[in-house]
Amino acid sequence: MFEITNFETSRRVRGTLLLSAALVVFIVLIIALFPSIEQTGIDFDAYIESLPPEARRAFIGDVTTITTIDGYLVSQFYQLAWLLALGIYYAYATGSSIAGEIEDGTLELVLAHPVSRTRLVVGKYLALVPSMLIVNALCFLAVYIGVVSIGEFIDTEDLLALHAFSVVYFLACASLGMLASVRFDTARRAQTVAVGAIFGMFLVDTLTFDTDYDWIGDIAFTRYFDLGEILTDGEVALGDFAVLTISAVVLLVVSAELFERRDV
């Protein structure tokens, strides 16, 4: 299993470093703009209050102010670039793991070796964990150093908690991508379904939150990852953490079982 993981991890090193570099540059730009936004004197909080609830939750997140550095980071970086875009990235990356082997005709060669289908699924899945840890570590450092460099303060424990929570959220997204990967014969179709599922969850969560249909949004992973609650309020919902953990494990087990039973 770990031979597969090591091999797949080595193939993802370049992509992980490029992704990390892009996010770090974006973080630097976002933080560098904060002092000028503070000095404008514009009442951005009033603007936030004037937005429709759906737009506010989708683009700003669950924060009441963006004039503090933590609220600003949630609204300008973590809500879309982290929660949505990076969640989609890991679902997309996993989507090609098995489906790509089937499409290329290399799966039979792989299975000709003494390796079970379950080991193949788990090994390829675990290959994304180092990427998640590296991206989280580098972005954590970039945010902390950037905030300190402009003379602002951010709670280190809250920031660390957010990034630790992120790993479980990304694992859940990757598990969904793996389910799509073992279900479809082409990488493109599996990736499209995986990306569509994550984006669809985000929309469902946004449109149903705090409405009569709020219960529908319980299917969305984003419902269990409240960025504002963690970074601005310093509260970590262990129940939400458990839901994402269980979701990641269950989807991975289902993926492995489905792949074991599938005729390829």
Q: Encode pLDDT of 200-241 as tens digits.
A: 999 999 988 888 888 999 999 999 999 989 998 888 999 999
What's the half-sphere exposure (Cβ side, CA atoms, 13 Å) at 142? 22
Nearest to 59 by CA among 40, 81, 38: 81
* 108-135 confidence digits (pLDDT tens): 666 667 778 888 899 999 999 999 999 9
- State the virtual CA torsion across 59, 246, 238, 235 in degrees, nearest 10: -20
**CA 257, chain centre distance (Å):** 24
Q: What's the distance, Cα to Cα, between the start and end of the chain in Å?
A: 20
CB atoms within 10 A of CB 41: 6
Domain ranges of the chain: 2-261
* 20-72 confidence digits (pLDDT tens): 999 999 999 999 998 887 676 556 667 677 667 776 777 777 777 778 899 88
**Which pTM was predicted?**
0.91
Handedness of CA 214, 65, 89, 175 (dihedral sign): negative
The Cα 29–Cα 124 span in angstroms is 34
CA distances in angstroms from 140 to 65, 69, 144, 253, listed in the order given = 22, 14, 6, 31
Q: Supply the pLDDT for residue 215.
A: 92
* 158-210 confidence digits (pLDDT tens): 999 999 999 999 999 999 999 999 999 888 999 999 999 999 999 999 988 88
